[in-house]
A and B are shown apart, each in its own frame.
Chain A
Amino acid sequence: MVRLLVLALGVASFALPVRANDLVTDYTLDNGMQVVVVEDHRAPVVMHMVWYKAGSADEQPGVSGVAHFLEHLLFKSTDNMESGEFSATVAANGGRDNAFTSYDMTAYHQRVAADRLELMMRMESDRMVNLRLQEHEVATEREVIIEERNQRVENNPGALFREQLSAAQYQNHRYGVPVIGWRHEMEALSLQDARSFYDTFYAPNNAILLVAGDVDPLAVKALAEQYYGVLPANPDLPERVRPQEPPQISPRRMTYKDPRVAQPYVTRSYLAPERNPGDQETAAALTLLAEILGGGQTSVLSQKLQFEQKKVVYAASWYNGTSLDATTFDFVVVPVPGVSLQEAEDAMDAVVVEFIETGVDAEQLARIKMQLRASEIYERDNVSSLANRYGRSLTAGLTIADIQAWSDILQAVTEDDIIAAAKQVFDDRRSVTGWLMGQEEVTQ
């Protein structure tokens, strides 16, 4: 192995012994179901996941939250299992199971001893096609998701604020509608709404099987063919085309006041391009830009606003390019007492303008790239996270080749690429600026 060398320029060079993608095998079943296996033989444990390329952004208008509601209902009865039997069986086998829903996907997962993989496949393939919804269970579970919304959103002014910001950012795309749903639409979700989403999207040709852990890829393939391979593809699977954003031509500003806010702050988001198959370079530059501007203690925003000017308690920027349609580049600044939201916002803007003029600090970029390389080693200690990365990327329309090319594309990003990406994305006309305030706050 090559020792870490710190060259005169402060550029770290580093070589990795094993690449993460050596651990990954993938194939597609005859019915169109994709299978990805991530091997980790250190412990006889397996993570079994099925990801559907169907999330809240695939819902029809008027039934927001149905993708997530259906996710809850998949733990109820099927033609072959009683309500609750799925999770009870996982638990009785010493495993843990759960599910999650996002804009672009819904995923179901179980963590069990590797020798229970077949049982998981038997049950998961069953509920892919045999769901038997019952009125009384639908009614009770609707109460549960409304309490979930209460807990996650209604009780949390920051979450209410984020919903409003997204709604302002996306003028036409379903990313502007919360995954959990708008409350008034959740209250009206019916068995038929859930059934319709299920019949449209739950099919092997719209699903990805991800198995991570102490498994042999060939054995997984045989089991997958036995349980998932026999399910018929849905010939009427709709093409995944959603309403897109019109040209955004007007900056939006919003203020949300809530007496439960103790710490006011400013957010800014810009509509930004996402990773696309064979076209990930801009997304890679934006990923590094977010790290450089606001990824931690040594980032430009922290350095200027927190350490030098002492105007903020916290400043950050982030960007997640793993998205089927246009994503956002985000900032937050939390002012210290005595600094107004306007001052904090102005200071943030000034730092970004100055950054674009001065350019990227080569040493900082080298440190970030070093950490990205190291994260590939650390990720091998956590194959569930590796599997999650594959699931998120594949359901966001990327290919295995895109996923495996991503780290090299990140490493190839130059200082000029980063500045060019900043100039492209930081366009007022596509921005939303938000102020979260307590009731007593005086604007100016």
Chain B
Amino acid sequence: MIRYVIAFVSVVLAFPAWAEINVKEVTSPGGIKAWLVEEPSIPFVAVELRFRGGTSLDAQGKRGATNLMVGLLEEGAGDLDAQGFARESEELAAQFGYDSHADAVSISARFLTENRDEALALLRRSLVEPSFSEVAVERVRGQVLSGLRSSLKDPDKIAGKRMSELTYGAHPYATAGEGTIDSVTALTRDDIVAAHQGALTKDRLYVGVVGDITAEELGPMLDQLLGALPETGATLPGEADVVFAGGIDVVDFDTPQSVAVFAQPGIHRNDEDFFPAYVLNVVLGGGGFESRLMTEVRQKRGLTYGVYSYLVLRDQANVYMGSVSSANDRVAEAIDVIREEWAKMADTGATSDEVEKAKALLTGAYPLRFDGNGSIARIMVGMQMDGMPIDYIVNRNDLVNAVTVEDVNRVAKELLDPELLTFVVVGKPDGV
């Protein structure tokens, strides 16, 4: 019924020669906003919820509390224990995923049209009245600790952890959101309840819904699903001061192939040079087989199976990162080549042919992301969290196409900093 829907903005987004996606902004009677795409052709609905903050909201000394709490949401709610909850979701053929990362807690759900009300009621219980029973806490704590013990011997995890320590100083980003064996061992049920109250709150909630449901139906459902959550919660951490010392930090680990990650300062999503930087990254190391790093390190020299660079856009920090893995006796050469390419791009920039090809890749690949109800729901939530307007989808390719080779090369000079480019190498690298 329309009266349940207070605000109702509808934008038809048409890609030239692409699909039409009709995004509606729905506001529930209780004031919860959602972006909706009605897609009735398959009888199911995908819902994506995201709560800004994530593991960065962990209280001092409680590292890992948010992660453990999120792991417990499906382990019992109301009068259902973990098995009872799982049985009910199986009976409904509803699928719920609960995840946390540095900037958000994310919940992904899909359920059949037939079972919509029952599935949402079950999802609601897991979000609003999780029981965090002692027995469930101990079981999931055991799983988290098992994962943490494995991370200590996983070269990829070791490399990422070391780079975060070096980069983020005293910010929560400096340590893993899963916590440490000591911090997770010490968490109490009270800590978990506090993390739940702190992280799942309405003031930092973003919702995307795609599938067999109308705007009129969605409004009241949002209130039933999420209305009972607290208005506000824990304080978000401030911006991180990122630090790069340059050079190579070696973590000794006995394994045949060294894993390297590299990083330098990045660029903000809202920076006017963001799109030139984005195109630059595709040319340098963010595309497919054609990037300069792939061409030089893999195709020409066979030093690695894969080398990549990527702009890391976090709420409280922006970093330009990359990764490569090479046998211990070859990783030094791989690092040299990456450094050379970094410097060369800063000095002489990209060719106009490279820039045009990168733009073609980005603009062509963008619509390919909209490849299912769940993917579209996730994209819509991401856009909301990044503060983008609802018509961003239509304009995004124009923003890419407006980038010129001059923009890219100016930004390459400003952004790429071979002196600050810092490597962490995990392994037994020769000559590093």
A residues engaging B (CB < 8 A)?
1, 3-4, 6, 12, 14, 17, 42-45, 75, 83-84, 87-88, 91-97, 111-113, 115, 139-148, 150-151, 154-155, 259-263, 296-298, 303, 306-307, 310, 313-314, 334, 336-337, 367-368, 370-371, 373-375, 377-378, 380-382, 384
Contacts and interface: CB of A to CB of B under 8 A. Distances in A.
Contacts of A87: 288-290
B372 A382 contact: yes
B365 A381 contact: no
Given A262-B152, A303-B83, 11 more contacts: A44-B19, A113-B364, A115-B17, A140-B300, A140-B301, A147-B325, A155-B259, A261-B153, A262-B153, A313-B146, A377-B44
B23 to A, nearest CB: 15
Contacts of B302: 139-144, 147
B45 to A, nearest CB: 11
Chain B CB within 10 Å, residue with most, of A45, A297, A384: A297
B386 to A, nearest CB: 23
B149 interface: yes
B288 A96 contact: yes
Nearest to B328: A150
Contacts of A384: 371
Contact of B42 (A4, A297, A377): A377
B83 A144 contact: no
Nearest to B42: A380
Contact of B327 (A91, A150, A371, A375): A150
Contacts of B146: 263, 313-314, 334
A12 to B, nearest CB: 6
A3 B371 CA distance: 29
Contacts of A368: 90
B305 A381 contact: no
17 contacts: A42-B41, A43-B19, A43-B367, A44-B19, A94-B368, A96-B288, A113-B18, A143-B303, A144-B302, A145-B305, A147-B325, A154-B255, A155-B257, A262-B151, A336-B142, A367-B87, A378-B95
Contact of B112 (A45, A92, A150, A377): A377
B256 A91 contact: no
B357 A92 contact: yes
Given A84-B299, A260-B153, A263-B146, A43 B370 contact: yes
Find the residue from B18, B146, B301 having the highest chain A CB count within 10 A: B146
Contact of A263 (B113, B150, B371): B150
Contacts of B61: none
A377 B259 CA distance: 41
Contacts of B33: none
A17 to B, nearest CB: 7
Interface in B358-393: 360-368, 370-374
Nearest to B302: A143
A43 B368 CA distance: 9
Contacts of B299: 83-84, 140
Contacts of A4: 92, 114-115
Report which residue of B41, B115, B327, B372 has the largest number of chain A beta carbons within 10 angstroms of its beta carbon. Answer: B372
B162 interface: no
B420 to A, nearest CB: 27
Contacts, number: 185
Contacts of B360: 91-94
A145 B327 CA distance: 12
A377 B86 contact: no
Given A94-B361, A155-B325, A368-B90, A17 B301 contact: no
A372 B367 CA distance: 30
B155 A155 contact: yes
A310 B141 CA distance: 13
Contact of B365 (A75, A95, A334, A337): A95
Contacts of A43: 18-19, 367, 370-371
A416 B146 CA distance: 37
A310 B150 contact: no
Contacts of B114: 1, 3-4, 14
Given A154-B256, A260-B255, A371-B93, A75 B18 contact: no
Nearest to B44: A377
Contacts of B357: 88, 91-92
B327 A147 contact: yes
Contact of B43 (A297, A370, A377): A377
Contact of A75 (B82, B255, B289, B371): B289
Contacts of A14: 114
B318 to A, nearest CB: 26
B10 to A, nearest CB: 19
Contacts of B362: 94
Nearest to A258: B153
A145 B146 CA distance: 32
A310 B142 CA distance: 10
Contact of B371 (A45, A151, A334): A45
Contact of A91 (B113, B142, B287, B371): B287
Nearest to A116: B364
A315 to B, nearest CB: 12
A154 B258 CA distance: 11
B91 interface: yes
A366 B56 CA distance: 42
A282 B191 CA distance: 49
A55 to B, nearest CB: 20
